[in-house]
Structure 1
Amino acid sequence: MTSFIPSARIAVAFAAGLSLAGAAFAFDFPARKPGLWEMSMNLGATASKLPVQVTQQCLDAASDKAMREMGEGMSKDRCSKQDMRNEGGKIIVDTVCKMEGPSNTVATTHSVMSGDFNSTYHVESKSSYSPPMMGRAEGSIVIDAKWVGPCKPGQKPGDMIMSNGMKMNLLDKMGGKK
């Protein structure tokens, strides 16, 4: 997802519990409440023909932190700008990062996040790409997430259920970092 639609890095970050846009920031990003989270991701103008993607993720404090830390490491070397600030209770993130792939595309992203991270959060992210990536000069994503309760029986922290029903454990994908 991150190599196809750069602004979706924010979606992946939240869906996976990673840090915002994979960047290390000066203040701690709010931890999400442990349990089962449902995230609706609308890729908007980036891929208007795609339906809203709904995923569920089981997490605890340790898995949320581990996935944020993984995100911090993902873009340390790729981002020339990684700014995060709190403005009036909203978290504002501005990044400039080289994207993976042969095009050497640079994504400039502005994201605004709000919510209490205990029951809900909302993200709006817009990116511009130079040179355009896969024919797109811009992209956007909106994420609405809500805590739906404790993880389901048989689920373990890091388990994620994708819109298509595919199940995976993000911590296992990270190489067993727990």
Structure 2
Amino acid sequence: MNHPSIAAIVALTTTVFTASAFAAELPTRKAGLWEMKMIFEGRNLPPQTMQHCVDATTDKLMNSQFGGMSKEACSKQDMQKSGNTITMDSVCKFGPTTSTSHAVITGSFDQAYTVKTTSTREGGPQMPGVAPGQPTNMTIEAKWLGPCKPDQKPGDVVMGNGRKMNVLEMPSIPGVRTQQPPR
């Protein structure tokens, strides 16, 4: 069975979390250890769980590094806030690929939130098992677990299989604006 790589999951999670070009407009998550469970609906993939250590600086930097799609790449960027619900719609083009996304975020960036997203990709490489133009539905359930563990630093991600990496040390992703973490 194919499982997404850590880089792909982190990029996908952050991209969905920030829903393309809205990174600067979303609240910063509470500093500490977050557990994120991704459920791919209608796919033959088990839920993927990871733990992610963040602080305010790292969370903002990750949003700009992985989620901050350039405004030039997106022909549509709509965001609506109502209470604890944020609804985002975007259409962005990256090379030959056009991605249309609809995301609804509910909850609190201090304790727990849920992201429900539907996205469709046209052109470019397709996701395995997804026909061109077929919507992909995913739910992310995130909850704050408490302070990061003593052996963790902001940016550390630990996958469900125990594999660990730091997203601030990942190479850039084509089509996504990047910047270096502060030293």
CA deviations over 1:122-166 (Å, ceiling 9, x no partner): 010001233593524210110000000110011000000122321
User: What pairs with 1:58-73 in structure 2 (closer than 5 Å)?
Assistant: 58-73=53-68
1:148 corresponding residue in structure 2? 145
User: What pairs with 1:114-129 in structure 2 (closer than 5 Å)?
Assistant: 114-129=106-121
In structure 1, which of residues 34, 42, 47 is the aligned counterpart of residue 39 of structure 2? 42
2:99 corresponding residue in structure 1? 107
Alignment partners' CA distance in 2, 1:62 and 1:81: 28
Q: Sort the Cα spacing of 1:77 and 1:163 in 2 relative to 1 into closer, same or farther, 3 A.
A: farther
1:23 corresponding residue in structure 2? 21
In structure 1, which of residues 138, 148, 158 is the aligned counterpart of residue 135 of structure 2? 138
Count of residue correspondences: 164
Q: For the Cα contact (< 8 Å) 1:22–1:68, is it kept in 2?
A: no
Stretch of structure 1 that moved more, 82-91 or 30-39: 82-91
Opposite residue 177 of structure 1, the aligned amino acid is: P
Give structure 1 stretches of 5+ with no counterpart.
none
Alignment partners' CA distance in 2, 1:52 and 1:79: 29
Runs of 4+ in 1 over 4 A off after TM superposition: none
2:73 corresponding residue in structure 1? 78
Opposite residue 79 of structure 1, the aligned amino acid is: C
Stretch of structure 1 that moved more, 77-86 or 33-42: 77-86
Alignment partners' CA distance in 2, 1:70 and 1:146: 22
CA RMSD of aligned residues (A): 2.7
Q: TM-score if structure 1 supplies the norm length?
A: 0.79
Q: For the Cα contact (< 8 Å) 2:14–2:63, is it kept in 1?
A: no
> Equivalent residue of 1:157, what SS?
coil
Counting aligned pairs with the same residue, the percent is 41
Give structure 2 stretches of 5+ with no counterpart.
172-178
Instruction: State yes or no: 1:166 paired with 2:163.
Output: yes
2:181 corresponding residue in structure 1? 177
Q: TM-score if structure 2 supplies the norm length?
A: 0.77
Q: For the Cα contact (< 8 Å) 1:39–1:54, is it kept in 2?
A: yes
Opposite residue 20 of structure 2, the aligned amino acid is: G
In structure 2, which of residues 40, 47, 51 is the aligned counterpart of residue 52 of structure 1? 47
Alignment partners' CA distance in 2, 1:165 and 1:75: 33
Alignment partners' CA distance in 1, 2:163 and 2:70: 26
**1:9 CA displacement:** 5.9
**1:96 CA displacement:** 0.5
